[in-house]
Amino acid sequence: MDDFGSLFDEFDVLGAFWVNIQLTFWAAIFAMVLGTLLAVMRISPVPSLRWAGTTYVTLLRNTPLTVIIVFCVLGLWGQLGITLSSDFQRNFFWLSVLGLTVYHAAFVCEALRSGVNTVPVGQAEAARAIGLDFGASARLVILPQAFRGAVAPLGNVLIALTKNSTVAAAGSVAETSGLMREMIEFRPDVIVAIFLIFAIGFVILVVPMGLATTSLSRRWSVAR
Amino acid sequence: MSGSVLFDAPGPRARRRMVWVNLVATIVVAGIGAYALVLLNEKGQLDAALWKPLFTANAWQNFFLPGLKQTLVAAGLSIVTAGIFGFVFGLGRLSASRTVRWLAGGVVEFFRAVPVLIMMVFFYMALPRLDLISPPDVPLVSVVLGLTLYNGAVFAELVRSGVHNLPRGQREAALAIGLRRPQSLRLVEVPQALIAMLPAIASQLVVILKDTALGAIVTYPELLSAARRFGSGNGNILQSLVIAALVFILINWLLTRVAEALAGRVGRRTAGRARVEAPSMAVETATS
């Protein structure tokens, strides 16, 4: 038990987890916005927007997140000189948020589309019948129900995003997977304890999210 | 419901309007693309000198193809071991004994909650201390172990939810012709569930293939790290990463198409429904 205490004194474990939580928070917000936009594009009547949305999702969903984050750091910053923050370390943080965002937006889009699929055809027909155009029927009838139907898949995207925030290590962000590596290097005697600290940390973060989305998706589901 | 129900078959006026909206949208989308190309050009990233090395025999023989081979080796090994892990723990979660069910459930939920990279880094750091495998094999073994534990847990969940989605008549019929419960599970239910779950299994293969790229972080020489090495050697890191991404996209897109084709066929092969669901955490589709 002493080992655990000294590990927390010696290393900023909570600080590392806090970085992951921040990465997840910002990427979740931006991915939600971008993903909703993509989902509207993909169900819109305009062929060129539909095509652009589909292409985006196909490309981003099939690229490994690690490649995207390495691209953001080595490509956007290293080659093109794009900086998102004047602070050197903070710049890597925001570039990783960018990578996490563009990757997970594709999955948010797919989750929302699966939510749209839960809305019965009759509802769209009724919206058309009372004279709503595409914008109005999407905004007033389809999307509100689609969001409620998409709670469970959106929750899965959030869980995946939380775990995937560790990949920011590939973008030189000092977060949990990097700290774990450092801690094992300095304290190889308690290697299993170190692994358990990080593993259980993620269990604590992720399992409540799973339980919350399950119960929310039940509570918010539209009775049909 | 498909998107097309959201709007009527357009009349002449709506059609004219759509042509305009479509045109404007095309210009906006193409404009964004063109702007990106202009920016790249300004930075000199479109110079032929940066792209040419990618289409030489050296690039492919010494970097991209060996990297791709390592990626496929890690993915192939992980698919086999994760399949075995998933089958064993999936059956464990369906066991008649409560203890076995709980134990298997705990293991599955734990490995689904821990990020793959955390497991990979742990094995990468721990294996050399155990002295069980030769040092050059450590990165490959840690990649495969990490992928096995996570994806095996997902496969176990697929087996379980597949069996739960079977019509009850399947088990009743098996019991009626005199099979015992383990026999019914092994001979009737699990095979049916696996066929129903083929599309979900196939899309999990895409996840495994993408996750091999995490190996670059633990010094496994797969496609991404090969591209990085080639790019930093030739000063064209941006271009090398684009090629690596395109190779990944092509393979995964083909796998996804196979999954879709399977989804179309399995409806006729089994009474089970190809639906992915799990009680506490539905199976994820969005891992790296």
Instruction: For residues B252 and B258, give the distance between their C-alpha atoms in angstroms, rounded to a whole number.
Output: 10
**A190 within 8 A of A198, measured Cβ to Cβ:** no
Cβ–Cβ of B6/A142 closer than 8 Å? yes
Of B281, B141, B146, B267, whose CA–CA distance to B199 is shortest?
B267
Q: Which positions 130-189 of B are in contact with A (Cβ < 8 Å)?
A: none
CB-CB neighbors (< 8 A) of A169 in chain B = 117, 217
In terms of phi and psi (left: phi > 0; alpha: psi -120 to 50; beta: otherwise), the region of B43 is alpha
State residue B265's pLDDT score. Answer: 78
CB-CB neighbors (< 8 A) of B122 in chain A = 180, 184, 191, 195
What are the residue boundaries of the structural domains of chain B, listed by start? 64-114+147-269
Instruction: For residues B216 and B224, give the distance between their C-alpha atoms in angstroms, rounded to a whole number.
Output: 6
* pLDDT confidence tier of residue A195, bands split at 50, 70 and 90: very high
pLDDT cut 70: percent of chain A above it: 97
HEC string for chain B: CCHHHHCCCCCHHHHHHHHHHHHHHHHHHHHHHHHHHHHHHHCCCCCHHHHHHHHCHHHHHHHHHHHHHHHHHHHHHHHHHHHHHHHHHHHHHCCCCHHHHHHHHHHHHHHHHCCHHHHHHHHHHHHHHHCCCCHHHHHHHHHHHHHHHHHHHHHHHHHHHHHHCCCHHHHHHHHHCCCCHHHHHHHHHHHHHHHHCHHHHHHHHHHHHHHHHHHHHHCCCCHHHHHHHHHHHHCCHHHHHHHHHHHHHHHHHHHHHHHHHHHHHHHHHCCCCCCCCCCCCCCCCCCC
What is A82-113 written as a DSSP string? --S-SSHHHHHHHHHHHHHHHHHHHHHHHHHH
* pLDDT confidence tier of residue A85, bands split at 50, 70 and 90: confident
State residue B7's pLDDT score. Answer: 63
Q: Which of A55, A70, A142 to mutate to test binding with chain B, by most B CBs within 10 Å of its CB? A: A70
Of B119, B248, B287, Cβ closest to residue A67: B248
Minimum mean pLDDT range among A11-20, A215-224, B88-97, B276-285: B276-285
Instruction: Of A55-69, A144-158, B36-50, B266-280, give the range with the top mean pLDDT.
Output: A55-69
SS3 breakdown of chain A: % helix, strand, coil, rounded to 5? 85, 0, 15
Class of domain B64-114+147-269: mainly alpha
Q: pTM score, two decimals?
A: 0.89
Nearest CA in chain A to B26: A48
Sign of CA dihedral A191, A194, A200, A201: negative
Neighbour tally for B208: CB within 10 Å: 22
Nearest CA in chain B to A75: B238
CB-CB neighbors (< 8 A) of B10 in chain A = 45
Instruction: For residues A192 and B129, give the distance between their C-alpha atoms in angstroms, rounded to a whole number.
Output: 12
* Residues 6+ away with beta carbon under 8 Å from A27: A97, A100, A101, A104, A161, A165
ipTM confidence score: 0.89
Q: Which of A32, A163, A172, A179 to mutate to test binding with chain B, by most B CBs within 10 Å of its CB? A: A163
Cβ–Cβ of A214/B280 closer than 8 Å? yes
* pLDDT confidence tier of residue A78, bands split at 50, 70 and 90: confident
Which residues of chain B are under the pLDDT cut of 50?
1-3, 276-288
Whether B114 and chain A come into contact, CB under 8 Å, resolves to: yes
Mean pLDDT of chain A: 89
Neighbour tally for B46: CB within 10 Å: 14
B50-82 b/e with 16+ CB inside 10 Å = b?
beebbeeeebbeebbeebbebbebbbebbbebb
**Average pLDDT of the residues in A56-71:** 94
Instruction: For residues B233 and A146, give the distance between their C-alpha atoms in angstroms, rounded to a whole number.
Output: 49
CB-CB neighbors (< 8 A) of B142 in chain A = none
Of B58, B121, B60, whose CA–CA distance to B244 is shortest?
B60
* Helix B198-211 / helix B138-164 crossing angle, nearest 10 deg: 160
**A19 within 8 A of A156, measured Cβ to Cβ:** no
CB-CB neighbors (< 8 A) of A32 in chain B = none
Of A81, A52, A223, A39, whose CA–CA distance to B24 is shortest?
A52
To the nearest whole angstrom, how far is the Cα of A4 from the nearest Cα of chain B?
A: 17
Cβ–Cβ of A207/B281 closer than 8 Å? yes
Of B114, B224, B283, Cβ closest to residue A64: B224
pLDDT in tens, A166-188: 999 988 898 999 999 999 988 88
Q: Which amino acid type is present at position B126?
A: A
pLDDT in tens, A115-140: 888 888 888 888 888 888 878 888 88
State residue B287's pLDDT score. Answer: 42
How far from B173 is each of A86, B188, B266, B273, B274, CA to CA, in Å? 69, 9, 21, 18, 21
To the nearest whole angstrom, how far is the Cα of B175 from the nearest Cα of chain A?
A: 33
To the nearest whole angstrom, how far is the Cα of A63 from the nearest Cα of chain B?
A: 5
To the nearest whole angstrom, how far is the Cα of A57 from the nearest Cα of chain B?
A: 11
Q: Which positions 201-260 of B are in contact with A (Cβ < 8 Å)?
A: 206, 210-214, 216-217, 224, 228, 231, 237-238, 241, 244-245, 248-249, 252-253, 256
State residue B280's pLDDT score. Answer: 32
Please check the confidence at residue A24 and state whether its pLDDT lies above 90.
Answer: yes
How far from B163 is each of B139, B158, B160, B178, B276, CA to CA, in Å? 36, 8, 5, 20, 11
